[in-house]
Structure 1
Amino acid sequence: MESKVFDPSLMENRFRHEFKYLSTLGQLKTIQVRLTGLIPLDPHVGPDGIYNIRSLYFDDYEDRYLKENEAGVDPREKFRIRIYNHSDSRISLELKRKVREKTQKLSCPITKEQCEMLMRGEIPDIGKDAPPVLQKLCLLMRTRLLRPKVIVEYDRVPYIYPQGNVRITLDENIRSSSRVELFLEDQIPTRPILPAGQHILEVKYDEYLPDFIYRAVQLQGLHRTAFSKYYLCRRYHL
């Protein structure tokens, strides 16, 4: 697959609606057929219409982010490092926040050297002009002992629509790894974290979801979930 790198800064800084549904492969394929030709794929996908996402998630010495997700605490946040298609040409540090049932993503690029230090639980030497997201992570690594906990990886088919800033994503083969030191390697050992044939549909938009898209993603048997991929992967390894 041709390596294309998605720039997460294009889709950040705003609070958005975000809904997640547990789906069978058949349900995802039905929705994919409905959306094809209706709204475009994200232009960053490869020739097969997908890209791979791998994220390294952090938590503190009390597993605060894990427990807050389980309890449905609002507001809450979590930090992750993300790469696309196993490429280290663009490495993003992201802070994802949930406030009043809406989500916000803030991100900044980091260097490979900074990423490798963070993977080891080491705090990079940064100046006062460093991006706020990186400054906050470093502060919490000192005060709350944030450390990398788990890798989450999956294959995504993403559809976008500009009106309403809609993003429909079909995430297959969700898997995890506790080998955080291998985050930047091309191939890493992983294990599936959902029952066979189960995947996740995500529906994201700003203020409104156009009716024709809403109708396209309506299916019997979809089960909305409040748990994040991070939570599911962490629970699998506990």
Structure 2
Amino acid sequence: MILNRLEYKYLVPNEELNDIRSEIRPFIRIDEYALNRDPIEYTIRSIYFDTPAMSCYDEKIDGIKIRNKFRIRGYNELKENDIIFLEIKRKYNNFISKNRAPLYNHNLQDLFITKNVGKYIICPENNEQNQDDARRFLYHYYAQKLSPTVLVVYEREAFFGRFNERVRITFDKNLRSADYAVTNKLFSEHPLKPVFTRHFILELKFRGGMPQWARHIIGKFKLPRLAISKYTLCIDSHRKLNNHRKKISPISIKYCFALNCKGQDKKCSIICKT
């Protein structure tokens, strides 16, 4: 389990990326998982799950303070014996925590069929936390009748605080998605629909107080903190609204990157601002 930490998100124009990189450079070190890659970033792939009534989506846009997201997460390109993760991301106001269980990608279908976490979950000796986290995921999977809803993919530049490793800052770019999500398509690249192309998402995670250097940069670039959810943005980009629900993410309503109709779609009641 990843312990509670604060998470703040900002939507930033692409043209400010290089300037922000320069501003943070004295205060950060690069995430080791990206050091040997060119460019210095890695690809994050997540298949999100939701209930038949899309409760996770609704809870997010309704501003429910305590809520969960369920996903399978992998990284970069598919390789033999790739490790992926079952994840539950828990949100309590601005605090987040995660339950995370690793397994080999080729064992995922067998895990769902057999529920045998002892056989398929990778677990250090004398430490059953990973198995416990997998059981939590499977409990919700069956109890709430979860099913894969959308594949979310993006590139991430990731950094840790040079003087405080509890500080983490990430730039999430090229957000794209597919609405055909099935669990064996985590590493698929086609077809993926861009959600927006003019901005990236800056995420700041920390415990305790926000470091002064980060506060200065947020103020210098006049970045408003937003309740951004990649999951709801991607759902909106495919207009995956149930018949009984007329809601849509406030971020999509304000920016309308995801819908991308530019006022040309007469069926779209949203005023596009891009």
Band of TM-score, shorter chain: 0.7 to 0.9
Which of the numbers 84, 107, 119 marks the counterpart of 1:91? 84
Indicate how the Cα distance of structure 1 residues 114 and 22 shifts in structure 2: closer, same or farther if over 3 A, else same: same
Bigger CA radius of gyration: 2
Q: Could you tell me which amino acid in structure 2 is paired with residue 95 of structure 1?
A: I
Distance in 2 separating the partners of 1:207 and 1:52: 29
Distance in 2 separating the partners of 1:127 and 1:50: 32
Distance in 1 separating the partners of 2:145 and 2:48: 13
Give the aligned partner of residue 70 of structure 2: 79
Query: Is the 1:31–1:217 contact (alpha carbons within 8 Å) kept by the matching residues of 2?
Result: no
Distance in 2 separating the partners of 1:184 and 1:72: 28
Q: TM-score, normalised by structure 1?
A: 0.85
User: How many angstroms does 1:198 deviate by?
Assistant: 1.6
Deviations 1:136-170 (A, max 9, x none): 22222222110111111111111101526011101
SS in structure 1 of the partner of residue 31 of structure 2: coil
Which stretch has the larger CA shift, 63-72 or 162-171?
A: 162-171
Distance in 2 separating the partners of 1:218 and 1:87: 40
User: How many angstroms does 1:51 deviate by?
Assistant: 0.7
1:38 aligns with 2:35: no
Distance in 2 separating the partners of 1:56 and 1:48: 24
Unaligned runs of 5+ in 2: 119-127, 241-274
The structure that is strand-richer by fraction is: 1
Distance in 2 separating the partners of 1:61 and 1:38: 45
Which stretch has the larger CA shift, 36-45 or 220-229?
A: 220-229
User: How many angstroms does 1:32 deviate by?
Assistant: 1.1
Give the aligned partner of residue 56 of structure 1: 47
Give the aligned partner of residue 137 of structure 1: 137
Q: Could you tell me which amino acid in structure 1 is paired with residue 147 of structure 2?
A: R
User: How many angstroms does 1:113 deviate by?
Assistant: 3.5
Aligned positions, number: 223
Q: TM-score, normalised by structure 2?
A: 0.74
Q: Could you tell me which amino acid in structure 1 is paired with residue 115 of structure 2?
A: D
Give the aligned partner of residue 243 of structure 2: none
Distance in 1 separating the partners of 2:139 and 2:5: 27
Query: Is the 1:123–1:141 contact (alpha carbons within 8 Å) kept by the matching residues of 2?
Result: no
Q: Could you tell me which amino acid in structure 2 is paired with residue 227 of structure 1?
A: I
Give the aligned partner of residue 247 of structure 2: none
Query: Is the 2:8–2:94 contact (alpha carbons within 8 Å) kept by the matching residues of 1?
Result: no
Distance in 2 separating the partners of 1:31 and 1:117: 44
Query: Is the 2:117–2:134 contact (alpha carbons within 8 Å) kept by the matching residues of 1?
Result: no
Indicate how the Cα distance of structure 1 residues 61 and 186 shifts in structure 2: closer, same or farther if over 3 A, else same: closer
Q: List structure 1 segments (4+ residues) > 6 angstroms apart after TM superposition.
A: none
Distance in 1 separating the partners of 2:179 and 2:113: 20
Query: Is the 1:164–1:210 contact (alpha carbons within 8 Å) kept by the matching residues of 2?
Result: no
Deviations 1:37-82 (A, max 9, x none): 4311111102321111111111111111000000110110111111
Which of the numbers 2, 12, 19 marks the counterpart of 1:13? 2
Structure 1 residues 185-200: aligned runs within 5 Å? 185=187, 187-194=189-196, 196-200=197-201
Q: Could you tell me which amino acid in structure 1 is paired with residue 200 of structure 2?
A: H
Q: With CA pairs under 8 Å and 6+ residues apart, which has the higher RCO, 1 or 2? A: 1
